[in-house]
Amino acid sequence: QALRQISQRTISTASRRQLENRVPENQKLFQADNGLPVHLKGGAKDSLLYRTTAGLTVCGTFYALYYLLISSMPKKPN
């Protein structure tokens, strides 16, 4: 019972910090006509994330194709 009262009190009296509404500035950023695709408009972090994902995808595709080729070859008898 006491634990329940303590947990109720800490939840209800926790100070809530005011969050700044950044939606309008994000709308301006993403709707700007600067020739960039939407997935790169976030800046350097988006570009790094995109290039890392693309690189891993290409490497994974080559890795899968290589092992598909290796597994399709018959084993040589010793």
What predicted TM-score, i.e. pTM, was given to this entire model?
0.60
Residues 41/29, Cβ–Cβ less than 8 Å: yes
Which two structure tokens, joined as six digits, stand for 74? Answer: 């018959």
Domain assignments of the chain as residue spans, ordered by start? 40-73
Mean per-residue pLDDT, 38-53: 94
- By residue count, the chain amounts to 78
pLDDT at 61: 98
pLDDT tens by residue, 15-32 = 567 889 999 999 999 999
**Which residue would you say has higher pLDDT here, 4 or 59?**
59
Interatomic CA distance for residues 44 and 30, integer angstroms: 14
pLDDT at 76 over 60: yes
Task: At 11, list the tokens.
Answer: 């939840």
